[in-house]
Amino acid sequence: MTAGNGGGPTRNGGKATSCFACQTRERTEWCALSHDDLKLIDDSKGVREYLPGDVLYHQGAPCVGVFCVQSGLIGLRKVDHDGNSVLVRLAYPGDTVGYRSFLAGEEHHLSAEVLKPSMLCFIEQATARRMLETNPSLGLRFLKRMARDLDEAEDKFLESTNSDIRVRLAHLLFVLKDRFAIESGNGALTLELPLSRQDMAAMIGVRPETMSRTIRKFEDEGLAFFSGRTVRVPDMAALFAQIEVDS
């Protein structure tokens, strides 16, 4: 359950991708850095691959640095009062994971778990902080990012109180389709979600049983067909219409 498949992160010295060659750099907040600063990061960072199930850090643990997602997928979880671990958010390539606790200077409030095989860079707290203190535009990027996250979180709250589950599920699929569509054509498309039913249920704030039933309804109505973790949506527009119905 703790971090690791094999040895610790390797200092950048072998075949690990350099920040300069990183395909996802443009999508990260770190692209605000100058060549020299980026080099500092590049030299001191650790890179390695993680496998599904690996845990980057646990809720409550002190923050020792941040992870930059080069490829793969990370899930951020929070354990609620009855001990259930609920999936709160996903981190995609280009995202920096653990930046909240780092910026706030607090222990982690979430746990980070690898969901798909991922290549991650680890940047030590001290290094990151130095960058942040000398490079205002880096902080600005993170501010922008967090402002967006905060908005999303508030919308999610509103949605959870006003919309019924059909709408919430349709909405979830709609968001997920941008990242996990593996095939599409004239309105129809197929998704390959790296999420268990429980996780999907938690994301929209319902019990697994209810998720199951709602999925059933969608299938009965021909809106979406679930088989394991792949979802086939014959008509995206029809699914999207669900969101409008009950507004």
Partner DNA sequence: CGCCAGGTTGATTTCGCTCAAGCAATGTGG
Partner DNA sequence: CCACATTGCTTGAGCGAAATCAACCTGGCG
Q: Which residues bind a copy of itself (CB under 8 A)?
A: 78, 80-82, 86, 88, 100-101, 103-106, 109, 132-137, 139-140, 142-144, 146-151, 153-154, 156-158, 160-162, 205-206, 247
As given in the structure block, the two tokens for residue 144 are: 């922008």
Residues 6+ apart with CB under 8 A from 149: 89
Q: Residue 103 or 238: which CB sits closer to a copy of itself?
A: 103
145 binds DNA (CB under 7 A): no
Q: Residue 10 or 212: which CB sits closer to DNA?
A: 212
Q: Give the Cα separation of 34 and 72 in Å (integer).
A: 26
Q: Are 64 and 58 in contact (CB under 8 A)?
A: no
Residue type, 59: Q
Q: CB of residue 95 vs DNA: minimum separation in angstroms?
A: 24
Say which entry of DNA, a copy of itself, none residue 140 contacts (CB below 5 to 8 A, set by partner kind). a copy of itself
Q: Residue 44 or 210: which CB sits closer to DNA?
A: 210
Q: Residue 25 or 100: which CB sits closer to a copy of itself?
A: 100
197 binds DNA (CB under 7 A): yes
Member of 147, 154, 213, 222 binding DNA (CB under 7 A): 213
Q: Are 49 and 43 in contact (CB under 8 A)?
A: no
CA Rg value for the chain: 19
Q: Calculate the alpha carbon distances from 7 to 50, 53, 122 in Å.
A: 11, 16, 14
Q: Residue 148 or 213: which CB sits closer to DNA?
A: 213
Q: CB of residue 44 vs DNA: minimum separation in angstroms?
A: 37
As given in the structure block, the two tokens for residue 244 are: 């409008």
Residues between 38 and 67 with contacts to DNA, criterion CB under 7 A? none
Q: Which residues, listed in sequence order, are joined to residue 244 by a DSSP beta bridge?
A: none
